[in-house]
């Protein structure tokens, strides 16, 4: 299939972004590494004075025969399980190494070619790209990339669509820049396209119509929901009809887990002999918004935070080339480049593992997080009184992706919810009370209200219906020891509140 060029959507950018031009000084950096060029044009410190001569790091080696969790130190005698990452100031061992004299120097804001090349190949393997002029720019993780999105596309006072409960740091980031947030109803499968359509079609013309939809399609934070392809197609169509840009923030994309099976003996993925082939793994992944994007209206944010470690502060942005230019213009005067240590270590690791090795890492991660998800769901079923679950006073859902689980609680079924001198039907009061009760019982899970995209400063944002259930978010990323204790305490708290309280009332 011949790919089409993306649409020119530059008219959607912010006033700030319109004012940005390429830094004239930065245009000459491309000559820095050219042979026979005497480069005296930049304020680049001499790498002779970088006090870093070499770095050596051991990481596990694909296909990760002994799993991805064991410390390499513990298996000193098994050197065949180790990938050695050795980087030198001026020496390249492999073609794709970025020597420290280069990675620790000022350089092109888009990213080093060795890194971008790997990511381009990865993109072609994972996403079915529909436009010809797509490109990639490196980021310092999705938090920083999201901040850039706000500055490139929003003017103060703009309104932006968010899932009705969404990642609170990004809601705060938007509001901090005087961008209002408008909630889109979601359920266990993410954004409800029909509800979104109603909102778009009935938009109050007294308010500027949003240009951006921010979504976390996989293992959503906080609800754990995942948007399937049918809904994604409908949402993308709405974005086309209403000229929206979709910000696809997908840090949990590769944590799409095996289905939850109640019977432990039937959990086949646990069988270590079941080798997963990377082609089969790729087939199990939900297609992304990026893969549906014929116009170039999707901006995808990827991050290594949940794949390697949050502290590497490295990620990437994929979208049409014109938008990538806008990111580069901004980044030239904000973060410039991510840490050279991170870039050279991660680039070396990726190139040594290769695309196949990286996929094997992701396959292992999926298995590990499925074990944790199953542990938590089994534990909730075990610890929450059965009658609360059977009567749907408490609802739990095995998330299909990510690292979050939610516990839904029917507020109206709480024995004191309607009592005037207690909660007096005040949901917020009830949520905060429950939060404090969990903390008192030494387990910290967080109330859904903290993730609400209802904007207190935007009247039309408040029309969203609230149902009988509130929710609390927990993470299953912890150790099984921590999780076990936490789940017992959650069960105990719910029993005290919904069963013991009722008994107390009855016996009064
Ligand atoms: N986006 C979502 C949905 C998240 O849940 C998180 C972290 O929890 C981030 C972004 C942060 O990503 P990064 O570490 O790449 O900034």
What does the pLDDT look like over 6-41, one tens digit per residue?
Answer: 999 999 999 999 999 877 777 787 787 788 999 888
Which pLDDT belongs to residue 71? 62
Residue of 169, 255, 302, 446 to mutate, ligand 1, most atoms within 8 A of C-beta: 169
Q: Report the greatest alpha carbon distance in the chain.
A: 92
Helix (H) or strand (E) holding 409: strand 404-410
Q: What is the pLDDT of residues 121-130, one digit of tens each?
A: 999 999 999 9
Q: What is the pLDDT of residues 144-170, one digit of tens each?
A: 999 999 999 999 999 999 999 999 999
What percent of the chain is modeled with pLDDT above 70? 97
CB within 6 Å of ligand 1 — which residues?
141-143, 167, 216, 221, 249, 251, 303, 305, 310, 315
pLDDT surpassing 60 at residue 190 = yes
- The helix-helix angle for 193-201 and 229-241 (nearest 10°) equals 10
Residue for token pair 């120097």: 105
Ligand 1 centroid – CA 142 distance (Å): 6
Which pLDDT belongs to residue 99? 94
pLDDT surpassing 90 at residue 266 = yes
Query: Which atom of ligand 1 is nearest to 145's Cα?
Result: 16
CA dihedral (222, 226, 231, 232) in degrees, to 10, reads 90
User: In whole numbers, what is the pLDDT of the chain averaged over residues?
Assistant: 93
Which pLDDT belongs to residue 421? 85
CA dihedral (228, 234, 239, 240) in degrees, to 10, reads 130
Which pLDDT belongs to residue 78? 59
Ligand 1 centroid – CA 161 distance (Å): 18
Ligand 1 centroid – CA 29 distance (Å): 31
Ligand 1 centroid – CA 169 distance (Å): 9
Query: Which atom of ligand 1 is nearest to 315's Cα?
Result: 15
Q: What is the pLDDT of residues 201-245, one digit of tens each?
A: 999 999 999 999 999 999 999 999 999 999 999 999 999 999 999
Query: Which atom of ligand 1 is nearest to 144's Cα?
Result: 16
Residue of 140, 143, 150, 299 to mutate, ligand 1, most atoms within 8 A of C-beta: 143
Q: Which of 260, 225, 262 is nearest to 370 (CA)?
A: 260
For residue 212, what are the β-bridge partners?
245
Q: What is the mean pLDDT of residues 39-56?
A: 91
Please list, in sequence order, all residues whose beta carbon lies within 8 angstroms of the beta carbon of residue 280, skipping any fewer than 6 positions away. none
Residue of 171, 186, 218, 251 to mutate, ligand 1, most atoms within 8 A of C-beta: 251
């Amino acid at each position: 299939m011949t790919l089409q060029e993306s649409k020119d959507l530059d008219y959607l950018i912010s006033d700030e972004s319109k004012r940005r031009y390429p830094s004239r000084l930065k245009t000459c950096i491309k000559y820095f590494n050219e042979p026979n060029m005497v480069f005296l044009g930049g304020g680049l410190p001499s790498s002779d004075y970088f006090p870093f001569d070499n770095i050596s790091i051991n990481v596990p080696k694909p296909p990760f025969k002994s799993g991805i969790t064991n410390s390499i130190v513990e298996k000193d005698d098994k050197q065949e399980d180790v990938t050695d990452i050795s980087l030198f100031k001026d020496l390249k061992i492999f073609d794709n190494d970025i020597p420290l004299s280069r990675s620790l120097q000022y350089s092109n804001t888009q990213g080093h070619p060795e890194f971008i090349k790997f990511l381009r190949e990865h993109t072609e393997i994972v996403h079915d790209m529909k436009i010809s002029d797509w490109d990639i720019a490196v980021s310092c993780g999705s938090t920083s990339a999201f901040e850039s999105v706000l500055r490139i596309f929003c003017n103060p006072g703009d309104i932006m669509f968010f899932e009705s409960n969404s990642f609170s740091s990004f809601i705060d980031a938007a509001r901090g820049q005087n961008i209002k947030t408008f909630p889109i109803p979601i359920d266990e499968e993410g954004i409800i396209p029909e509800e979104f359509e109603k909102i778009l079609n009935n938009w109050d013309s007294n308010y500027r119509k949003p240009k951006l939809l921010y979504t976390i399609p996989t293992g959503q934070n906080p609800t754990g929901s995942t948007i399937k392809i049918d809904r994604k197609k409908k949402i993308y169509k709405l974005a086309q009809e209403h000229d929206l840009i979709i910000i696809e923030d997908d840090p949990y994309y590769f944590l799409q887990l095996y289905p939850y099976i109640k019977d432990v003996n039937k959990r086949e993925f646990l069988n270590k002999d079941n080798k997963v082939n990377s082609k089969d793994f790729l087939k199990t992944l939900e297609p992304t918004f990026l893969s549906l994007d014929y116009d170039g209206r999707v901006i995808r944010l990827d991050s290594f935070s949940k794949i390697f470690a949050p502290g590497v502060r490295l990620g990437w942005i994929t979208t049409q080339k014109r938008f990538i230019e806008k990111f580069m213009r901004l980044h030239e005067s904000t973060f410039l480049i991510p840490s050279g240590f991170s870039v050279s270590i991660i680039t070396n690791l990726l190139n040594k593992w290769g695309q196949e090795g990286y996929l094997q890492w992701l396959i292992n991660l999926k298995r590990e997080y499925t074990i944790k998800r199953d542990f938590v769901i089994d534990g909730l079923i075990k610890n929450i009184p059965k009658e609360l679950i059977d009567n749907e006073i408490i609802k739990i859902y095995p998330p299909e992706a990510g690292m979050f689980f939610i516990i839904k609680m029917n507020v109206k079924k709480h024995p004191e919810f309607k009592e005037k001198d207690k909660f007096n039907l005040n949901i917020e009061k009830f949520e905060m009370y429950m939060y404090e009760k969990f903390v008192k019982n030494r387990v910290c899970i967080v109330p859904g209200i903290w993730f609400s995209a209802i904007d207190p400063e935007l009247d039309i944002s408040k029309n969203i219906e609230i149902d009988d259930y509130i929710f609390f978010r927990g993470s299953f990323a912890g150790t099984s020891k921590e999780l076990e204790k936490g789940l017992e305490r959650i069960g105990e708290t719910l029993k005290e509140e919904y069963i013991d309280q009722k008994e107390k009332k009855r016996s009064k």
